[in-house]
Amino acid sequence: MTDWFARRTYHHRRFADLPQLLRAKEERGLGVSVCIPTLNEAATIGPILRQIRTALVEEVPLVDELVVIDSVSHDRTVAIARDEGAEVFQDRDILPDREHFTGKGEALWKSLFVLKGDLVVWLDADIENFDPRFVYGPLGPLLLEPGVGYAKGFYDRPVKQDGAPNGSEGGRVTELVARPLLNLYWPELAQLIQPLSGEYAGRRDVLAEIPFFTGYGVEIGMVIDVYERFGMDCLAQVDLDRRVHRNRPIAELSRMSFAVMQAALARLASSGKADLKARASTMLTQFVREPVGYEMAALDIRVRERPPAASLPEYR
């Protein structure tokens, strides 16, 4: 099992020669799309897009398309993105004749119907220490390493204390939920350092052949489905050093974990790894401490599954 880790784990410096990546892209006649899903990310989306446009579109034309898939932001996210040269789509306007769901996975799945590139790089929109390595790092193995069809970024994830990044205790949902599940049922995938990272890239012919879970179930579902459909050697991972972003409170991490577990349980059932005799509940009960006692809140968090894009007639 460790053979994959040794062969398919890279550092972003391996791919820092941008002219080399550009030559590889042009020799193979490939187009590259960078796509960022957003929801109220006005504080960070501008610098991210500006660095991509300057370094990877204008200086070295490695990126051919820069797209934002927005989920009805109420701040200036959309205006800022357009000012920085990105093409913006609202997720609910894509495939309008089909029922619309919400969440990150829905935006990523729908992006496949509007993006033009042969290679797709997806990025989270809340990175505070953004650098072009977050793009060319995951993109590099797709261009230079034969057989790689999907590459995940990984990094040190500090947790902010008193407003400053400190320690390395980020990735709590990964370590407490995703990694134990992968070790139990998909032990080869336990070699992924950040299976839930939001920075990754894939070949279109791979991405269009796998289903997508909506919401926060999308990342764990994607790595499982790429692995089961194309094999472990299709995957790679790239060290991006350090990522500083908006840390989530425990209550929000609990909701993310609930979605991750739903997706994993659904894939256990569909793959025949487990015989689940009871239907999983979609209601998550949480508690809020009040001045006197606790208030109970029940949230309906429903992870749905979208079919492979290539299976739909709307897919070009």
CA distance 90 to 203: 23
Q: pLDDT for 164-174, tens place per residue?
A: 555 555 578 99
Cβ atoms of 130 and 34 within 8 Å: the answer is: no
Cβ atoms of 56 and 135 within 8 Å: the answer is: yes
pLDDT tier for residue 34 given thresholds of 50, 70 and 90: very high
Cross-strand pairs, 33: 65, 120
pLDDT tops 60 at residue 144:
yes
Q: pLDDT for 219-244, tens place per residue?
A: 999 999 999 999 999 999 999 999 99
Q: Mean pLDDT of all residues in the chain?
A: 94
| Ordered DSSP codes for 134-196 | HHHHHHHHHHHSTT--EEEEEEE-PEEETTEEESS---HHIIIIIHHHHHHH-GGGGG-S-TT
Q: pLDDT for 243-263, tens place per residue?
A: 997 767 888 899 999 999 999
The pLDDT value recorded for residue 163 is 57
Residue type, 72: V
Domain regions of the chain by residue span? 2-311
The pLDDT value recorded for residue 246 is 73
One of 3.40.50.10860, 3.30.465.10, 3.40.50.300, 3.90.550.10 is the CATH number of 2-311, namely: 3.90.550.10
Give the residue among 85, 12, 16, 18 at the shortest CA–CA distance from 45. Answer: 85
Give residues with Cβ within 8 angstroms of 26, minimum separation 6.
none
The pLDDT value recorded for residue 278 is 82
Residue type, 221: G
This prediction has a pTM of 0.93
